[in-house]
Structure 1
Amino acid sequence: MRDVESLLRSTPNTFPTKSSRRAAQGTWKPFRPNSVPDSLFSRPLPFLIFLEQVIRPHDLSYKSRSNTPPPPRRRAGVGPPPAQARYNDVFHQFDLDPVSQATNSRLLSLFVSEIGKIYSRQVTGLTMKSQRRLGKAIRRAKMMGIIPVLSAPKLSGTYRNRR
């Protein structure tokens, strides 16, 4: 081990590279690993410790170092307010239970996308209760084989075929 250390100490740190040419021209600057670029000082970072800064022992603990603020959460897409949903909801207006319409493929096809996905409440504009019951009715219809599982029903006379 000492032989390796003595070998490393005896080898010169200068190699004929661009830096030696720059040193001859006077444009070479030594690399300082402790130097911090000016861009880091332009914004406050929680992990930098500056000279003459008072720090508490707690500031160096794992919990305080890893305790960064959580990223801002995207607000979940919610449907219309209850009054507007009741006004737009066909099931609520006619006092129909969507689950009782599980065999009505024409009605259920209006709430299923081309790839068989149930439209969200944001898209349908139904009340929360009707949306839950509609999802249950569509899943039941898919299990019974009334509507296809991975595509929209191909029905004649629907708005999809009129385009």
Structure 2
Amino acid sequence: MMKVYDGSTTGGSTEMPAEQKKVGIAEFEVTTSGAVLTTSGLGSCIGVALYDGTAEVAGLVHVMLPTAENTDGNRAKFADTGVEVLVEAMEDRGADRRRITAKVAGGSDMLDFSENGSSIGSRNLDSVRETLATFSIPIEGEDVGGDHGRSLKLEAATGDLVVKSASQDSTTL
């Protein structure tokens, strides 16, 4: 089942639908315009949605791997540096990390080839949680683990994160 997000309203409102911005794998986006930030294809990857309601700044990063071996490459690809670059970009747009809250989704074990130790999904999640803790950013909602993919919509105007899952109804964090 999927909810429809077509910008339609009831009660005769003439508001325009919010702009949508797609965040690809190993990418991030920050908005102050109330846009809807979307990402899909979250298996073992993690989507980290950050929100500062006072400054009206929201951001979304789609990370693939737990930790960066070095910082010469794409910082958004890794959980540790991806959260860091998103926080920095939000601060550049007026956010204050003391007001930022997080919502996290993904980290599935869809294709677990590990014979020993934790899967990529759970290691990604551990790294995201550790990095957010380093920044003292509380996690207000999670839809993580399992063995199914997810797609996300971060409604930047409200900070709501809508999670569409292959195995269940959409949920809002």
| TM-score for the superposition, normalised by structure 2 | 0.24
The TM-score with structure 1 as length reference comes to 0.25
Structure with the larger strand share? 2
Q: Which of the two has greater helix per residue?
A: 1
Structure of greater relative contact order (alpha carbons < 8 Å, 6+ residues apart): 2
